[in-house]
Amino acid sequence: MNRLTGDNVAFYRKHGYWLYRQPVLSDEKFSRLQDIFEEHLAEKGEKLSDELDTPHFRDPRLLEFLLADEVLDLVEPILGPDIVLWSSHFISKEPFHGRETPWHEDSAYWRGRFDSYDRIVTVWLALDKSTRSNGCMRVIPGSHVNGFSDYVSVDTHRHTFGQAIAGVDESQAVDFELEPNQCSLHDPRIIHGAKANTSPDRRCGYTMRFIASSVKVIAENNPGWKIWLARGRDWAGNHYEPRPLAGSS
Domains of the chain plus CATH, in order, are 6-231 (2.60.120.620)
More confident residue, 47 or 30: 30
Beta partners for 208?
Answer: 88, 123
Q: Residue 3: its pLDDT value, please?
A: 87
**CA angle in degrees (0–180, nearest 5) for 68-70-76:** 95
CB atoms within 10 A of CB 65: 22
Q: Residue 94: its pLDDT value, please?
A: 86
Q: Residue 13: its pLDDT value, please?
A: 97
What residues have CB less than 8 Å from 19, skipping those under 6 apart? 176, 178, 182, 184
pTM, rounded to two decimals: 0.94
pLDDT tens sequence across 143-172: 998 888 999 998 887 887 889 998 999 999
Decide if 192 contacts 140 (C-beta within 8 A): yes
Task: Report how far apart the first and last C-alpha atoms of the chain are (Å, whole number).
Answer: 23
Which amino acid type is present at position 68? A
For residue 249, give the nearest of 73, 24, 32, 83 by alpha carbon: 32
What residues have CB less than 8 Å from 207, skipping those under 6 apart? 87, 88, 89, 90, 91, 122, 123, 124, 125
How many residues make up the chain in this entry?
249
Q: Is the pLDDT of residue 49 over 60?
A: no
DSSP symbol at 60? G
CB atoms within 10 A of CB 2: 18
Instruction: Give the mean model confidence (pLDDT) for residues 26-47.
Output: 89
Q: Is the pLDDT of residue 2 over 80?
A: no
Q: What is the DSSP string of 143-207?
A: GGG-----EEE--TTTBSSSEEESS--GGG-EE--B-TT-EEEE-TTS-EEE--B-SSS-EEEEE
Q: What is the DSSP string of 85-108?
A: EEEEEEEEE-TTTBPBEEEE-HHH
What residues have CB less than 8 Å from 216, skipping those under 6 apart? 114, 115, 116, 236, 237, 238
pLDDT tens sequence across 82-109: 999 999 999 988 898 767 899 999 999 8
